[in-house]
C-alpha cells in the first residue's frame, strides 16, 4: 500500500504521463483513494492508484518504470486491483486513451470491455478521446458467506 513517504518516487513515475500529477495532487489521491506499489530491490517500479468513492472501483493510474516495462509488473498490479474490487463485490473501471494501443491490449487481455467513449476532461488531451473500460467482478472473486453463518 502506498504511503505519504512514497510520494517523491510516485512523482518521478508520474513523468510517464502527459498530465503528470504534482506532489500535492498525489497526496490528495492517497487521501481520497489508495495506492498500490510494486517494489523490486527496495525501489518502487510500478504503481496503481484507485478510488472507491463511486459504486465502482476506479483505477485512475497504472504506471511502470520504463526500463522494466513488458515484464509482467503492470499485469500483476492490474490483477491485484481487480481482485480487490471483486472481493468488495465491485466492478473495476478505467479510461485509456484510444491512442495508447499497448495499454489497451493489456486491459482487454485482462477481461476489461469497452462500454463507451469519453471525449471531455482529461480525455480531451488525445484528439481521438479515451475508451471507458469496465471489468465486471465475478462471483468466484467474492467469497460468499457459507450457509448458516
Ligand atoms: C501500460 C503499462 C502500465 C503496462 O505495464 P507493463 O509492466 O509494461 O505490462 P506487462 O508487462 O504486465 O504486460 C505487457 C503488456 O502491456 C502492454 N504494454 C504497454 N506498454 C508497453 C511497453 N512499453 N512495453 C511492453 N508492454 C507494454 C502490452 O499490451 C503488453 O502486452 P503484449 O505482450 O500483448 O504486447 C506500462 O507499459 C506503462 O506504465 N506505460 C506508460 C503509462 C501508461 O500508458 N499507463 C496506462 C495508462 S491507462
Pocket test for ligand 1, best of 50, 106, 110 (most atoms within 8 A of CB): 106
Nearest alpha carbon to residue 63 among 113, 100, 27, 114? 100
Cell numbers for 99: 491512442
Regarding the beta carbon of 126 and ligand 1, being less than 6 Å apart is answered no
Domains, the chain, ranges and CATH? 4-141 (3.40.630.30)
| Secondary structure (3-state) at 118 | strand
pLDDT attached to residue 93 = 97
Q: Is a pLDDT exceeding 70 seen at residue 148? A: no
**Going by CA atoms, what residue is nearest to atom 4 of ligand 1?**
74
Regarding the beta carbon of 106 and ligand 1, being less than 6 Å apart is answered yes
- In the block, cell 495508447 appears at 100
List pLDDT tens digits, range 65-105.
999 999 999 999 999 999 999 999 999 999 999 999 999 99
Nearest alpha carbon to residue 112 among 141, 126, 91, 98? 91
Does pTM surpass 0.75?
A: yes
The fraction of the chain above a pLDDT of 70, given in percent, is: 93
Atom of ligand 1 nearest to the CA of 78: 12
Atom of ligand 1 nearest to the CA of 106: 29
Sort strands 113-118 and 92-97 into parallel, antiparallel or unpaired: unpaired
Amino acid at each position: 500500500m502506498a504511503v505519504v513517504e512514497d510520494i517523491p518516487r510516485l512523482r518521478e513515475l508520474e513523468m510517464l504521463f502527459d498530465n503528470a500529477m504534482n506532489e500535492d495532487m498525489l497526496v490528495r489521491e492517497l487521501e481520497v483513494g489508495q495506492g498500490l506499489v510494486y517494489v523490486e530491490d527496495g525501489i518502487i517500479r510500478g504503481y496503481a492508484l484507485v478510488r472507491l468513492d463511486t459504486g465502482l472501483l476506479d483505477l485512475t493510474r497504472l504506471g511502470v518504470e520504463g526500463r522494466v516495462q513488458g515484464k509482467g509488473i503492470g499485469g500483476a498490479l492490474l490483477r491485484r486491483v481487480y481482485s480487490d474490487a471483486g472481493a468488495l463485490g465491485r466492478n473495476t473501471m478505467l479510461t485509456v486513451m484510444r491512442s495508447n494501443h499497448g495499454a489497451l491490449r493489456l486491459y482487454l487481455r485482462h477481461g476489461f470491455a469497452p462500454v463507451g467513449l469519453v471525449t471531455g476532461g482529461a480525455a480531451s488531451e488525445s484528439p481521438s478521446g479515451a475508451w471507458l473500460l469496465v471489468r465486471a467482478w465475478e462471483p468466484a472473486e467474492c467469497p460468499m458467506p457459507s450457509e448458516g453463518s
